């Protein structure tokens, strides 16, 4: 997996146009872009949110700090270039198991709570992403509750 990410990052840096840089089939970039989209939804990206995103990337993909920084930047760029959330969710819905999609939604809730508050735009974005990933309302709400509890005990 790490070799795949390195190969993707090398290809991204060598590409000459933005369209060539983003390979929409890359699951890691798609997931990271959705997480970035959530932290940017309220119009302000706090340091706590950036740190949380990088931490999740490092943990989930076994990346170094440098690699997570590169993936963070790629996710930011991919999010800016995406027309809609479907760009990412259609790929992830096909390629991820239900358990992996649930884990992604959990990670999205972690992004929402990273700055210590929940903004209605962030909440709405997670709801839309979960719907596009075929995660039912009950599971989405349980994940939200679980993450909120975890954050209270930290």
Does 13 reside within a domain? Answer: no
Enclosing domain of residue 82: 26-152
Sign of the CA dihedral 128, 149, 40, 12?
A: negative
- Please answer whether residues 82 and 125 qualify as being in contact, where contact means their C-beta atoms are separated by less than 8 angstroms: no
Instruction: From 50, 69, 19, select the one nearest 114 (Cα to Cα).
Output: 50
Does 65 reside within a domain? Answer: yes
pLDDT in tens, 27-50: 999 999 999 999 999 999 999 999
pTM to 2 decimal places: 0.82
How does DSSP assign 32-62, residue by residue?
HHHHHHHHHTTS---HHHHHHHHHHHHHHHT
Does 11 reside within a domain? Answer: no
Does 122 reside within a domain? Answer: yes
Does 81 reside within a domain? Answer: yes
- Domains of the chain: total: 1
Does 128 reside within a domain? Answer: yes
- Local structure of residue 44 (DSSP, 8 states): -
Residue 15 pLDDT > 60: no
Does 6 reside within a domain? Answer: no
- CATH number, domain with residue 114: 1.10.3680.10
Question: What average pLDDT does this structure show over 116-125?
Answer: 91
Predicted confidence at residue 151, as pLDDT, reads 83
Predicted confidence at residue 154, as pLDDT, reads 63
Residue 56 pLDDT > 70: yes
Residue 8 pLDDT > 90: no
């Amino acid at each position: 997996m790490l070799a795949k990410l390195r190969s993707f990052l090398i290809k991204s840096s060598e590409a000459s146009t933005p369209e060539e840089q983003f390979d929409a089939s890359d699951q890691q970039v798609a997931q990271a872009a959705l997480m970035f989209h959530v932290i940017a939804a309220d119009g302000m990206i706090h340091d706590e949110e950036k740190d949380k995103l990088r931490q999740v990337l490092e943990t989930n993909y076994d990346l170094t700090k440098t690699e997570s920084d590169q993936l963070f930047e790629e996710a930011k760029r991919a999010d800016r270039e995406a027309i809609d959330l479907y760009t990412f969710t259609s790929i992830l819905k096909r390629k991820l198991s239900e358990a992996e999609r649930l884990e992604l939604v959990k990670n999205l809730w972690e992004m929402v709570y990273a700055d210590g508050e929940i903004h209605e735009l962030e909440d709405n974005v997670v709801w839309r992403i979960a719907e596009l990933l075929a995660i039912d309302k009950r599971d989405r709400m349980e994940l939200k509750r679980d993450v909120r509890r975890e954050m209270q005990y930290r």
